[in-house]
Amino acid sequence: MQEQVIARSSTHQGGKGYSYNPLAQPFLKWAGGKRQLVPAIKKYIPRKYTQYHEPFVGAGAVLFSLQPARSIINDTNQELINCYEVIRDHPDELLSLCVNHEKNNSKEYYYKLRSQDRHDKFQELSPIERAARIIYLNKTCFNGLFRVNSQGQFNVPYGDYVNPTIADPAIVNAVSAFLNQRSVKICRGDFSEAVSTAKKGSFVYFDPPYHPISDTSSFTGYSMDGFGSHEQERLKLLCDNLSDRGCQVLISNSNAPLIRELYSDFRYEIVEVKASRAINSVGAKRGKVGELLIYNKYECKSI
């Protein structure tokens, strides 16, 4: 379809009591992260919105690029959401543990920390210890993947990087300030629950696990719960419901036939964009790939 630009939003950057901080940015590497696609995504963000919802927040590239005044963020990945909560509430303690991990970084140390979730004592770790562990594993594992097996155990091999930075204090403190000084509600649950309170004038950005474009391209290790065709169909029906409520909706997904078919009705516009994907276990599959941005066509004028 022909590209139709809605507007580049600047309405919710900064504001009373808070200044937009470019250092508030993703603190993790993330498969499917949207950092390099943010300029394209911003073209399809409404001029005005009352509240921002991101049910699949991931590393938060879009969230941090907007820094909205009011937002609800969510993810089913419990370790990820724990990181957001710890950065909000205990940034200094987290940074201290990350410095210790950085000093001790080695292949042997990596596998020692990785193995913790294979033992019962893992449940005894504090939220701060768990957050520091997952940030360390993320920054030192192969290709920055977050992948767990069917038992929910982190299973990515060591990446063998030279002097990796585990946690940048400037970024962690900026993210903590954003989470504390703006109205950010952090949830952990199903994507439908995360938008249950969305009202007319809200803006919802969905970045779900992408539908595979081939039988061999699916990435299912992000969490123990799969995200198959049924979930994609459920998401589409939810987008219809949000549209009926008067919400602005934007969805990122793969350029798969199923996705094009689901959003082929009159409500939506589909735009293809090219994204660079550096995180893939197969080197030949990294590089520019076609992805879809899908948005509902009408804007809510009376906010």
pLDDT recorded at residue 264: 97
Least confident of 115-119, 257-261, 286-290, 291-295: 286-290
pLDDT tens-place string over residues 285-298: 556 778 999 999 86
pLDDT tens-place string over residues 200-233: 999 999 999 999 987 555 444 445 457 899 999 9
pLDDT recorded at residue 216: 54
State the pLDDT confidence band at 164, using cuts at 50, 70 and 90.
Answer: very high
154: pLDDT strictly greater than 70: yes
Sheet holding 268-277, edge to edge: 183-187, 70-74, 52-54, 203-206, 248-254, 287-296, 268-277
pLDDT tens-place string over residues 48-74: 999 999 999 999 999 999 999 999 999
Dihedral sign computed on CA atoms, order 59, 64, 185, 11: negative
pLDDT recorded at residue 9: 41
State the pLDDT confidence band at 152, using cuts at 50, 70 and 90.
Answer: confident
Domains with residue ranges and CATH for the chain: 35-78+189-296 (3.40.50.150), 83-169 (1.10.1020.10)
134: pLDDT strictly greater than 90: yes
Residue type, 22: P
